[in-house]
Chain A
């Protein structure tokens, strides 16, 4: 029963995104921009998987996933900017003559990729180590990580940080010699994002199914019991926090070339809350829910902002309140309950006719 249910989701997912959407583009129904937009949503979904691991499974509400996402994006963006000019424009305007030392490694693509994952992972380790060692839990964890993201946002906004300030980094031309404006390249990026999302999903699926995943869920249920059962909970929380940060960073890395711009706005308070909402609306504690939530909320966002540009936040807020009040398990939970109800109804009618 359960496996049938899952495989239906998988078949639908692959049919829509690996066949239908690209076919729609090739036959001329969908513009390449639509494809690119969905490619971006996949990147959000990758980050959402991480949020589901840390929040949905382990019960730690981390509000700094948007920051890790941006670290990935900024890293790739720095590489792309350096591909174009030896000294970025905004530095010239700010009368800086030599490239700052922390920009230097981003000249090399391989080093960029390594740093894009290493920096978020190392930061997550550091933040997690301090917070988990001091036994910070629940709402305090959320507040501290949110404050941290806010602080980072303020730092990235400043011109002195040499990361483009409010305007962020934009106007990229090529990646590894490929023209980013090219339709074929955009389609390739779409498929790469899709593949990485699938791989990330499979990895997370394995993690949650393993005993390690069970320990995470046990920590969510009763952390003290896990400790008295001789598990070092701090290590487990730290591990999952680093994995979540890595997933966010990978999402950010793939997001950048498909969007063409990264600004600190991607990690402001609104953005970091929104990321958590994807998972809440989709269904936390369920990887499928996280992916569906990220894709659906972002799709709704693009629909709503073009139809009712000013009311998006109200719509999102309304959806969130409804979810919290009436379907705790999100969209996935709703579908499961409905299926069970219909199944029961069917059984009852079958019994009465008999």
Chain B
């Protein structure tokens, strides 16, 4: 397993945000996490990428413990994160946004004397082409439309070339056509990377969920299964529709 989470627990001000017994993602697996608001989906990604500290439990990545490591070390180990609200550099051009992301040496001296090699230029160009950013390369990133900002952040994560991508609501604010394109891209990326995607859009999930879907409810794992299993599970339907269900109450 590439990523393994055991007995992870986090609480904010006495409220249990996450209380996860087990969760794991394998090599080149595309995992979708769903769950109602406040289920702890984003919190889980926050812990994996080092944004939030966990109270207890263990998270191992490539066999190494990552709890307690800072976000830079975790990023260096090969975990890339796309946030729910697009997090890009609005005052830099799209090209510069991408240039900063490219996987190279990232210490002070390397950046001070950095020259764009043809290989790097090609890489930026090909990623930009795939995400249809090549037409806006010299625009300020802050001036992009919301959907384009989403794609720019995905492009930033792609250029980092992480082993594991954490993608938080990639389809939010996108048109149907853009959503489908994003889905296709994620499926293609999943051939070479492990990806965890958080989503609400059921149509989108149906498109991308080629493997397991994990359902989180109130910080706990309700179930894990294929898209069809999850879709037809009475507990999942009930918790989404807010219906009371005896099995949910005991969770």
Contacts and interface: CB of A to CB of B under 8 A. Distances in A.
Interface string B85-117: 001111110001001110000111001111000
A218 B96 CA distance: 9
B213 to A, nearest CB: 25
B75 A230 contact: yes
Contacts of B112: 207, 210-212
Nearest to B79: A228
A217 B89 CA distance: 8
B113 A229 contact: no
B100 A214 contact: yes
Contacts of A226: 100
Given A212-B108, A212-B114, A229 B92 contact: no
Contact of B108 (A214, A218, A235): A235
Interface string A58-95: 00000000000000000000000000000000000000
Nearest to A231: B106
B76 interface: yes
Contact of B100 (A207, A211, A235): A211
A226 B160 CA distance: 12
B72 A227 contact: yes
Interface residues of B, number: 28
A224 B80 CA distance: 12
A232 to B, nearest CB: 5
- Among the interface residues A220, A222, A229, A239, which one has the most CB atoms of the partner chain B within 10 A? A229
A222 B92 CA distance: 11
B193 interface: no
Interface residues of A, number: 24
A222 B89 CA distance: 6
Interface in A208-255: 210-212, 214-215, 217-218, 220-222, 224-233, 235-236, 239
Interface in A296-333: none
B75 A224 contact: no
B243 interface: no
Contacts of A239: 108
B51 interface: yes
A207 B112 CA distance: 7
Contacts of B91: 217, 220-221
Given A214-B100, A225-B156, A227-B75, 11 more contacts: A215-B111, A220-B91, A221-B90, A225-B89, A227-B71, A227-B72, A228-B75, A230-B72, A230-B75, A232-B107, A236-B108
Interface of A: 207, 210-212, 214-215, 217-218, 220-222, 224-233, 235-236, 239
17 contacts: A210-B111, A210-B113, A210-B114, A211-B114, A212-B114, A215-B111, A218-B96, A221-B90, A221-B92, A224-B71, A225-B87, A229-B75, A229-B100, A229-B101, A231-B106, A233-B72, A236-B108
